[in-house]
């Protein structure tokens, strides 16, 4: 198979224009594996990802493990350097910042991690942890303490608890401390990396509600990374679906959940169990075959074609010359097996998808009903 080169997309799913608090342009990260000092294979962790974030918006990011969610978030925080592409925060290109300027940027984009047990220093009092992002500010220690107290109180904790150590708190409280730490420098963007996955169900709702209130109070924009489709639906305004390092679909929440165009999105939605026995036991499910492919050797063409139900359906109507037969005997359209689909919008809406044969509304109704 001839390796094809894909031009970076020129059109991208931007919605905010100059207003954007964060804009990611054609961001790509390839990790090069070295054996005996020589580069051998490149893992394309993130390929040509573009999106922006409007003020006050929550963008949900979903995908299976290995899809590049974590690499993308580390690129946005500039914890690692991109292979190519840019990250622009409030009009400034942060991929070219000097160390000094980077400090300032770090105050604009903060992160809340998944595991509240691992993300706080066990030997540091809570006050010190929460004040840590303020280290480079020119505030006096009294002012810092005031900010710590106010932020903790807003999170529903008590002033006096600032003197305690992390082990003296429950998981939910620790997550509140993690959020307080991120907010102490009044950032613009909060990157929430699985913020409630480690919490008990009854505590999840408390933290989700708090996050929604804080977004309005602090005028924040969120990027929410989660594997829980219910949480993403509840919190997000727009949702971006990634598969093997690429964005395969992006749309306003309501659109994406009710009328997905990419078969992968439809498969994900269909796999999420619904807590209602009447709904759950009558609906048909799309069973995704196999595991996600290895990002070190992605299949040619559309990375999803070997697991795709839509490709099989489409191939039934095609002649032999237009069909490729896979190793397991399944037939898929030749285009899917050979040509990488580009992220496009069909009708100048905010709904973007990267599929050669996107699902129609009617088709979605038959596979998910």
Partner 1 sequence: MTVNSDRSDVVLDIERLRTRIETPRGVVHPVNDVSLQCRRGRTLAVVGESGSGKSMTFMSVLGLLPAGGTIESGTVRYQDREIDPTDKKAARQLRGKAIGIIFQDALAGLNPSFTVGQQIADVVRHHEGVSRAKAKEKAIETLGLVGIPNPRERADYYPHQLSGGMRQRVMIAMGVALRPQVLVADEPTTALDVTVQAQIMELLDGLRRELGMSLVIITHDLGVVARYAEEVAVMYGGRVVEHGEARQVLKNTVHPYTEALLRSSPRPDADVGELSPIPGQPPNLLAVPSGCSFHPRCHRANGRPECSRDIPLLRSLSPESQLTACHHAEEMALQKVSK
In the complex, the residues that contact partner 1 under the rule CB under 8 A are: 64-65, 170, 172, 200-206, 208-209, 227, 229-231, 233-234, 257, 267-269, 271-281, 285, 287-288, 291-292
Rounded-to-integer distance, Cα 362 and Cα 369, Å: 10
The DSSP line for 130-159 is HHGGGTTS---HHHHHHHHHHHHHHTT--G
Closer residue to partner 1 (CB): 4 or 280: 280
Closer residue to partner 1 (CB): 106 or 305: 305
User: Could you tell me the smallest distance in angstroms from the CB atom of residue 275 to partner 1?
Assistant: 4
User: Could you tell me the smallest distance in angstroms from the CB atom of residue 232 to partner 1?
Assistant: 9
128 phi and psi, to 5 degrees? -70, -40
Strand segments, DSSP code E, in 65-124 are 84-89, 92-93, 109-112
User: Could you tell me the smallest distance in angstroms from the CB atom of residue 125 to partner 1?
Assistant: 21
CB-based contacts of 340, cutoff 8 Å, min separation 6: 4, 6, 301, 302
Rounded-to-integer distance, Cα 238 and Cα 256, Å: 8
Closer residue to partner 1 (CB): 136 or 168: 168
Q: Answer yes or no: are the C-beta atoms of 48 and 54 closer than 8 Å.
A: no
- Written as six digits, the tokens of 89 are 């925060």
Closer residue to partner 1 (CB): 95 or 206: 206
User: Could you tell me the smallest distance in angstroms from the CB atom of residue 119 to partner 1?
Assistant: 18
Rounded-to-integer distance, Cα 273 and Cα 50, Å: 31
Rounded-to-integer distance, Cα 168 and Cα 260, Å: 45
Closer residue to partner 1 (CB): 78 or 234: 234
User: Could you tell me the smallest distance in angstroms from the CB atom of residue 161 to partner 1?
Assistant: 14
Rounded-to-integer distance, Cα 307 and Cα 147, Å: 51
User: Could you tell me the smallest distance in angstroms from the CB atom of residue 121 to partner 1?
Assistant: 23
Closer residue to partner 1 (CB): 143 or 200: 200
Which three-class secondary structure state does DSSP give residue 17?
Answer: helix
Q: Which residues pair with 67 in a beta bridge?
A: none
Q: Answer yes or no: are the C-beta atoms of 100 and 281 closer than 8 Å.
A: no
Rounded-to-integer distance, Cα 62 and Cα 236, Å: 11
Closer residue to partner 1 (CB): 98 or 282: 282
User: Could you tell me the smallest distance in angstroms from the CB atom of residue 249 to partner 1?
Assistant: 15
Closer residue to partner 1 (CB): 64 or 90: 64
Rounded-to-integer distance, Cα 63 and Cα 69, Å: 7
CB-based contacts of 87, cutoff 8 Å, min separation 6: 22, 23, 24, 25, 27, 75, 76, 78, 93, 94, 95
User: Could you tell me the smallest distance in angstroms from the CB atom of residue 50 to partner 1?
Assistant: 25
Helices (H) and strands (E) in the chain, counts: 13, 14
Closer residue to partner 1 (CB): 272 or 296: 272
User: Could you tell me the smallest distance in angstroms from the CB atom of residue 212 to partner 1?
Assistant: 9
User: Could you tell me the smallest distance in angstroms from the CB atom of residue 72 to partner 1?
Assistant: 17
Closer residue to partner 1 (CB): 41 or 287: 287
Strand segments, DSSP code E, in 36-171 are 38-53, 58-62, 84-89, 92-93, 109-112
């Amino acid at each position: 198979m001839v390796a094809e080169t894909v031009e970076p997309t020129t059109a991208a799913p931007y919605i905010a224009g100059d207003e954007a608090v964060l804009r990611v342009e054609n961001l790509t990260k390839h990790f090069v594996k070295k054996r005996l000092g020589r580069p051998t294979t490149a893992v394309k962790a993130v390929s040509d990802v573009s999106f922006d974030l409007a003020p006050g918006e929550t963008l949900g990011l979903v995908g299976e493990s290995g899809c590049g969610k974590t690499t993308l978030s580390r690129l946005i925080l500039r914890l690692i350097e991109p292979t190519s592409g840019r990250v622009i925060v409030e009009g400034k290109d942060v991929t070219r910042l000097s160390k000094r300027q980077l400090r300032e940027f770090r105050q604009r984009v903060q992160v809340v991690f998944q595991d509240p047990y691992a993300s706080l220093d066990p030997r540091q009092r809570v006050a010190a942890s929460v004040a840590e992002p303020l280290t480079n500010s020119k505030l006096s220690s009294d002012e810092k303490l005031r900010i710590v107290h106010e932020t903790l109180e807003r999170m529903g904790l008590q002033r006096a608890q600032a003197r305690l150590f992390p082990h003296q708190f429950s998981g939910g409280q620790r997550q509140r401390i993690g959020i307080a730490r991120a907010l102490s420098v009044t950032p613009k963007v909060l990157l929430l990396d699985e913020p409630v996955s480690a919490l008990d169900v009854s505590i999840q709702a408390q933290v989700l509600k708090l996050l929604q209130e804080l977004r309005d109070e602090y005028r924040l924009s969120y990027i929410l990374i989660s594997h829980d489709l219910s949480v993403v639906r509840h919190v997000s305004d727009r949702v971006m679906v990634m598969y093997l390092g690429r964005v395969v679909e992006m749309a306003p929440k309501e659109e994406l959940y009710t009328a997905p165009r990419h078969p992968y999105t439809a498969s994900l939605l269909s796999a999420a169990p619904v807590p209602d026995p009447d709904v759950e036991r009558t609906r048909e499910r799309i069973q995704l075959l196999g595991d996600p492919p290895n990002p070190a050797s992605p299949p040619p063409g559309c990375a999803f074609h070997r697991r795709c139900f839509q490709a099989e359906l489409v191939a039934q109507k095609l002649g032999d010359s237009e069909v490729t037969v896979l190793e397991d005997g399944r037939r898929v359209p030749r285009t899917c097996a050979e040509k990488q689909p580009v992220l496009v919008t069909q009708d100048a809406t905010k709904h973007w998808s990267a599929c050669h044969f996107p699902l129609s509304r009617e088709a979605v109704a038959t596979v998910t009903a």
